[in-house]
């Protein structure tokens, strides 16, 4: 009835070649099976994440960024399904792993911090047990050793180790998120996916947590795939940023380039809808309309129905190609082909 | 602990109120057993015998406060009066016998139906749409929807009368030595228990199952279950320590409450299967206008329900750390 704990599947990762990305997502597509038809939540998304890099994925709610995060760890469950593409980690295609291999692979090499710290911890187990659980599932450590390691992890994320016997409800939101980070770091993975790690927290705690993550990243040298809808936080925190719209990656560049010179009209509108802390006061503008229905996404560029600079005929019919328009600056927009100048948002 | 202390105080107050109401009710009703006997003798009973009957049954004269005081004093000594239907047996003795049979029958049946319901509910939610979920859930739901007395009578008719696999009633065979050290007697008791217990389990398991299944499905979509799976924990650990452990909390309350109602006896079960439990005793008491026995039954049921509630609170303290602080 229940499956035995995974036998050591001895998954060996090939070493990274010079310049080879740690994580390489190739033409990833994810669909959700619904009664109305297939929701094409993620379509043809490709990106590379280098070792030691912080890569951000941003976009509106429902643009598929969390789905990408879950697909990368193969956490999707029915009705969601990877419909195509590859997720290469050290060159190993994760989408082909068996359940047992996956169970062994996950957390040891790649882990995730979920959106809501409030709900990511089991209310009836102590935080110590929840950290130790992850360790015991992957190593030969005894319970005492796992406990010692849990204490160490709590110290690392800045929580009083005496809290090891606390239950989640006895901790504040920020402390809970630190515990969740400790759980994610339990096996020293090379890549940690942060899925909106600070959404449920207030701004002050958010800042503390992000600083903490940055510090931990420097000390423990893991890479980060950072998912957020908060563009200003993302630009500050990431080395490179990818912008998603309606399940597709529409722009990707170094974060200062995205910040200073966004190329895609959607990215420009998105930047306009966030206030800047420094810099000149400007009128905040939203983006008229709402994201398209992904059962029947619009043809051509998916953004054209909301785009005020769409080119008649072209944008409705032809899917723009993701092209490099500047050094390390990729975007998918016909306007960028039409004229060299950045369209004025 | 302070939480349990507060609850205990609350239950003691509730008990006191119940005891007082139990005292008041018979006194608000017109007539009493002696007057009924008097009426039955159609005036051929002289006042002296009436007087002696009152004495025999332990009725106390005097103002209501005095009666109340002596009622409380008697209660504290465990003296519930003398049964009229089972005269001269004291009420406490009649109750004791009935209670033992009820607890045996309903205790076993409730425990089995709860455990079975939890186990199947966990299975059904874990493998949604598979065998347990697709077949066992609707079938137990169907049995749960049958009127209980109807199912009991069908069972009795088919398995006892027609097929003659099980006895027609009573708690044990009368022609063997009624002694718990006698293995034959124990076997006979179990044998007599099978049919009524099965009927109770059949009707009760559906509710537990459905409650647990729905609660478990909810919990399975929680982030901490997803995180537990992502952490690489075994299915067994995710299923029990993370999902079922949380999903069971609402059912625990229901279970403890049902333990209280056990003592009330399943009147219908006990009547259909002529099982000598509390329910059967209560029915007899009502038919015989046996007020002391009725009062005793009510008191016992009240105490059981309150005790079970307290047990539910205590179980919560053990199982849910959030209640502790």
Enumerate the residues of chain B whose CB falls inside 8 A of the CB of residue A191. Answer: none
Rounded average pLDDT over A45-64: 92
Question: Is A169–B228 a contact, with Cβ atoms under 8 angstroms apart?
Answer: no
Nearest to B3 by CA among B226, B321, B237, B242: B321
Please say whether the beta carbons of B283 and B267 come within 8 A: yes
d(CA A149, CA A146): 5
- Find all residues with CB under 8 Å of B134, minimum gap 6, and list them: none
For B227, nearest residue in chain A (alpha carbons): A120
Segment A228-278, tens digit of pLDDT: 988 888 989 999 999 999 999 999 999 999 988 899 999 998 888 776 656
Does the ipTM exceed 0.90?
Answer: no
DSSP tag of A13: P
Q: CA neighbours within 13 Å on the CB side: how many for B53?
A: 14
d(CA B323, CA A124): 10
d(CA B226, CA A119): 10
- CATH numbers and ranges of domains, chain B: 91-324 (1.10.3720.10)
d(CA B16, CA A160): 48
Question: Is B320–A104 a contact, with Cβ atoms under 8 angstroms apart?
Answer: no
SS (H, E, C) A321-341: CCEEEECCEEECCHHHHHCCC
Tens digit of pLDDT at every position of chain B (325 positions): 788 888 889 999 999 998 888 888 877 776 676 777 777 676 677 777 777 777 766 666 677 788 888 888 888 888 887 787 777 788 888 888 888 888 888 889 999 999 999 999 999 999 888 888 888 888 988 888 888 888 888 888 888 888 888 887 777 777 777 777 888 888 888 888 889 889 889 988 999 999 999 999 999 988 899 899 899 888 899 999 999 999 998 888 888 888 887 776 678 888 888 888 888 888 888 887 787 888 888 888 888 888 888 888 888 888 888 877 6
Q: Which of B123, B223, B322 sits opposite A114 (nearest CB)?
A: B223
d(CA A107, CA A191): 9
Distances in whole angstroms, Cα of residue B1 to Cα of each of A167, B8, B314, B324, B325: 17, 10, 9, 7, 9
Enumerate the residues of chain B whose CB falls inside 8 A of the CB of residue A167. Answer: 321-322
pLDDT at A4 over 60: no
Question: Is B227–A114 a contact, with Cβ atoms under 8 angstroms apart?
Answer: yes
Please say whether the beta carbons of A52 and A252 come within 8 A: no
Query: B212 in helix, strand or coil?
Result: helix
Segment A123-169, tens digit of pLDDT: 999 999 999 999 999 999 999 999 999 999 999 999 999 999 999 99
Query: B117 in helix, strand or coil?
Result: helix
| Residues of A engaging B, defined by a Cβ cutoff of 8 Å | 1-6, 73, 75, 103-104, 106-108, 111-112, 114-116, 119-126, 133-134, 137-138, 167, 169-170, 180, 183, 186
Order of strands across the sheet that contains A37-49: A37-49, A23-34, A80-89, A92-93
d(CA B283, CA B106): 17
Q: How far is CA A141 from the centre of its chain?
A: 30
Nearest to B271 by CA among B257, B260, B259, B281: B281
Q: How far is CA B257 from the centre of its chain?
A: 9
Question: pLDDT at position B264, please?
Answer: 67
Enumerate the residues of chain A whose CB falls inside 8 A of the CB of residue B123. Answer: 1
Q: Which two tokens stand for residue A224?
A: 């980060």
Q: Which two tokens stand for residue A11?
A: 């998954």
d(CA A127, CA A166): 6
For residue A290, count CB atoms less than 10 angstroms from its CB and return exposed for 0-12, middle for 13-18, buried for 19 or more.
Answer: exposed
For A72, nearest residue in chain B (alpha carbons): B230
d(CA B4, CA B13): 14
Please say whether the beta carbons of B2 and B324 come within 8 A: no
Please say whether the beta carbons of A325 and A263 come within 8 A: yes
Distances in whole angstroms, Cα of residue B274 to Cα of each of A110, B105, B167: 65, 12, 11
- Find all residues with CB under 8 Å of A27, minimum gap 6, and list them: A44, A45, A46, A84, A85, A86
């Amino acid at each position: 009835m229940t499956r035995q704990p995974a036998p050591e599947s001895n998954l060996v990762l090939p070493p990274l070649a010079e310049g080879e990305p740690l994580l390489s997502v190739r033409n990833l597509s994810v669909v959700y099976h619904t009664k109305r038809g297939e929701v094409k939540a993620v379509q043809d998304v490709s990106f590379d994440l280098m070792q030691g890099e912080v890569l951000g994925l941003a976009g509106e709610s429902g643009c598929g960024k969390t789905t990408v995060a879950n697909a990368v760890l193969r956490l999707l469950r029915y009705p969601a399904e990877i419909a195509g593409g590859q997720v290469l980690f050290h060159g190993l295609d994760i989408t082909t792993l068996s359940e047992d291999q996956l169970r062994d692979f996950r957390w040891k090499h790649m882990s995730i911090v979920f959106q809501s710290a409030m709900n990511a911890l089991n209310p009836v187990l102590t935080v110590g047990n929840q950290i130790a659980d992850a360790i015991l599932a992957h190593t030969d450590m005894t319970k005492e050793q796992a406990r010692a390691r849990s204490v160490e992890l709590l110290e690392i994320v800045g929580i009083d180790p005496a809290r090891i016997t606390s239950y989640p409800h006895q901790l504040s939101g920020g402390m809970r998120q630190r515990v969740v980070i400790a759980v994610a770091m339990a096996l020293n993975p090379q890549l940690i996916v942060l899925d909106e790690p600070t959404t449920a927290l207030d701004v002050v705690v958010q800042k503390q947590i992000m600083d903490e993550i940055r510090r931990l990243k420097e000390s423990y040298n893991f890479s980060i795939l950072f998912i957020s809808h908060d563009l200003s936080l993302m630009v500050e925190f990431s080395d490179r940023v990818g912008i998603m719209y309606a399940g597709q990656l529409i722009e990707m560049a170094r974060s200062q380039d995205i910040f200073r010179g966004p190329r895609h009209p959607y990215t420009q509108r998105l930047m306009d809808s966030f206030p800047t802390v420094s810099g000149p006061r400007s009128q905040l503008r939203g983006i008229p309309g709402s994201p398209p229905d992904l059962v029947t996404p619009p043809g051509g560029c998916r953004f054209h129905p909301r785009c005020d600079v769409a080119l008649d005929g072209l944008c409705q019919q032809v899917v723009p190609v993701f092209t490099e328009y500047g050094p390390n600056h990729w975007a998918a927009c016909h306007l960028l082909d039409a004229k060299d100048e950045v369209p004025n948002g | 602990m302070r939480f349990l202390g507060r609850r205990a105080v609350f239950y003691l107050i509730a008990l006191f109120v119940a005891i007082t109401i139990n005292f008041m009710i018979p006194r608000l009703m017109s007539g009493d057993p002696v007057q009924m006997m008097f009426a039955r003798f159609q005036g051929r009973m002289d006042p002296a015998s009436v007087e002696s009957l009152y004495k025999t049954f332990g009725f106390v004269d005097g103002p209501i406060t005095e009666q109340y005081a002596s009622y409380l004093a008697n209660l504290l000594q465990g003296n519930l009066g003398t049964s009229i239907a089972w005269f001269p047996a004291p009420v406490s003795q009649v109750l004791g016998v009935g209670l033992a049979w009820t607890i045996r029958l309903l205790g076993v049946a409730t425990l089995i139906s709860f455990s079975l319901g939890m186990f199947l509910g966990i299975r059904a939610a874990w493998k949604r749409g598979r065998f347990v979920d697709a077949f066992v859930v609707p079938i137990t739901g169907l049995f749960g929807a049958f009127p209980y007395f109807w199912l009991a009578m069908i069972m009795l008719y088919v398995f006892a009368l027609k097929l003659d696999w099980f006895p027609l009633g009573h708690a044990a065979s009368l022609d063997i030595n009624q002694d718990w050290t006698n293995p034959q007697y124990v076997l006979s008791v179990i044998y007599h228990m099978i049919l009524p217990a099965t009927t109770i389990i059949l009707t009760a398991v559906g509710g537990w199952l459905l409650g647990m299944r729905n609660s478990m499905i909810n919990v399975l979509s929680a982030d901490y279950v997803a995180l537990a799976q992502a952490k690489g924990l075994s299915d067994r650990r995710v299923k029990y320590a993370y999902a079922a452990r949380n999903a069971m909390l609402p059912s625990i309350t229901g279970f403890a409450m049902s333990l209280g109602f056990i003592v009330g006896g399943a009147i219908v079960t006990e009547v259909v299967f002529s099982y000598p439990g509390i329910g059967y005793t209560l029915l007899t008491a009502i038919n015989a206008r046996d007020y002391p026995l009725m009062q005793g039954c009510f008191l016992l049921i009240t105490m059981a329900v309150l005790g079970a509630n307290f047990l539910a609170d205590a179980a919560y303290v053990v199982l849910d750390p959030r209640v502790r602080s």
